[in-house]
Amino acid sequence: MTDTSLSPQGTLVPWGDLRMASSGRLGQALTFADLRLMAKARLPKPIFDYVDGGGESELTLEWNRSAFDELAFRPRTVAAIADRSTATSFFGRGSAAPFGICPMGGLGMLWPKADLINARLAARAGIPFVLASGAGSSIEEVAEAAPDGRRWFQLYVFTDLALNKRLLGRAQTAGFEALVVTTDTQINPKRIRDIRNGFALPMKLTPKNVLEFASRPRWLWNIARDPRSALMGNLVQELGADPSARNAFDFFRANRKRSVGWEDLKPLRDAWRGPMLLKGIVTAEETAKALALGVDGVVVSNHGGRNLDGTLPAIEALPDVVSAAGGRIPVFLDSGIRRGADIAKALALGARAAFIGRPVAFALAASGEAGVEHVLAMFHDEVDRVLGFLGCTRVDQLDPSYVVRR
């Protein structure tokens, strides 16, 4: 339930005002599809496909979308809706809207200082931002850029428990609110687009890729302004005398723990003082185990369809997880969110909030800080609009009676 005594920090800019003030094509970006096309025109093909693509045949990527589209609304049209609020709360703090920004590594390939932009704009909007382990900017840099923001830290578990604890200690010292442990990426995925494009991190300079990069001079000049964005900021301290991008990625690959069991999660739970969430949970069985471990929340996610192809769409997995959680912990959702209506559907099926990934990434690639501000305002406007059409004035009024499978 929304705790109205918890006033969310930050204010989302009215989207209509922002759009009218925007110059050029950004003001005409009315949908996710518009931003995607703008990003496609700006990015070299290997990098666009890395963001846009999914695992193997991309079935789950497609299902994430079609599952949302198969849910229809059941509005209450006779209702007093003039005084509406999109605010919600979780972990004892208010949030201006029921969504946040997913953890995403490699954003420095799209725009310089991308993580700092996302953290700063999320703080301004009063919504959570999740910093990825593999982000270009470090824990400390993000804390400095968004000191008042709801900053969460996402961890890929490393083989060295001491390294995990050092990262958690840095995040704790820097005032990060929550820890998000990703559980679904121990195996390297098979992404066909990346294989065909010869894409790897860090990028290899093949004749084909050089031609692709040269075909996007605006992107190339923009990225060249800040080569540090290609680094893994959180691992620089671990690299010794050679903090190069290649060394960072080699270190990341060599030290990732490829088999994470419940016994590996307990030391993290013990070490972290604050809310801890597991991201990648899609079953009631694992939700029950997460509760027994003492986690404070779960994120229903299939990694945006980027890993195991053929995984159940996140929105279809959500009701079982919500049922198993039984109101004891908040349940969040990512994967497949493309518009505010999707967020409303997730809320109706029991999610406390949703996290958006590709819409932010494409907005960033399209127009940097202005693009991210635009897409956050657009999502807020859409959530508010759908709320009114459904006959609701608060997001916590949404329940399963507001949606039905077509």
pLDDT at 226: 80
Strand pairing category for 353-356 and 331-333:
parallel
What's the rounded Cα separation, in Å, for the pair 280 and 257? 16
Q: Is the pLDDT of residue 7 over 70?
A: no
- Comparing CA positions, the residue from 323, 319, 320 lying closest to residue 348 is 319
Q: Is the pLDDT of residue 195 over 80?
A: yes
For 82-121, the pLDDT digits (tens) are 999 999 999 999 999 999 999 999 999 999 999 999 999 9
DSSP letters, 89-126, are: EETTEEESSSEEE---S-GGGTSTTHHHHHHHHHHHHT
Residues 6+ apart with CB under 8 A from 381: 14, 15, 16, 340
**Tokens 């083989």 — which residue?**
159
For 169-181, the pLDDT digits (tens) are 999 999 999 999 9
**Tokens 């953890």 — which residue?**
103
Share of the chain above pLDDT 70, in %: 94
pLDDT mean over 281-306: 98
> Cα–Cα–Cα angle for 363, 366, 369, nearest 5°?
65
What's the rounded Cα separation, in Å, for the pair 331 and 320? 11
Q: List domains and CATH numbers for the chain.
A: 15-192+251-405 (3.20.20.70)
Determine the residue type at 69.
D
Contact 171/266 with Cβ under 8 angstroms? Answer: no
- Comparing CA positions, the residue from 369, 375, 361 lying closest to residue 43 is 361
**Tokens 């428990």 — which residue?**
161
Q: Which two tokens stand for residue 69?
A: 């589209």
Under the banding of pLDDT at 50, 70 and 90, the label for residue 272 is: very high
Q: Is the pLDDT of residue 352 over 70?
A: yes
Give SS3 for 256. Answer: strand
Give SS3 for 181. Answer: strand
pLDDT mean over 154-160: 97
Q: Which two tokens stand for residue 319?
A: 């009701």
Lowest mean pLDDT among 73-82, 175-184, 208-217: 208-217
Catalytic machinery residues: 303
For 114-146, the pLDDT digits (tens) are 999 999 999 999 999 999 999 999 999 999 999
Task: Answer with the residue of higher pLDDT: 20 or 28.
Answer: 28
pLDDT at 4: 40
> Cα–Cα–Cα angle for 380, 384, 390, nearest 5°?
145
pLDDT at 248: 85
Distances (CA, A) of 192 to 56, 187, 227, 307: 6, 15, 27, 11
The gap from C-alpha 124 to its chain's centroid, in whole angstroms, comes to 17
What's the rounded Cα separation, in Å, for the pair 145 and 151? 11
Distances (CA, A) of 48 to 30, 202, 205, 336: 20, 15, 16, 17
pLDDT mean over 334-347: 98
What's the rounded Cα separation, in Å, for the pair 391 and 220? 48
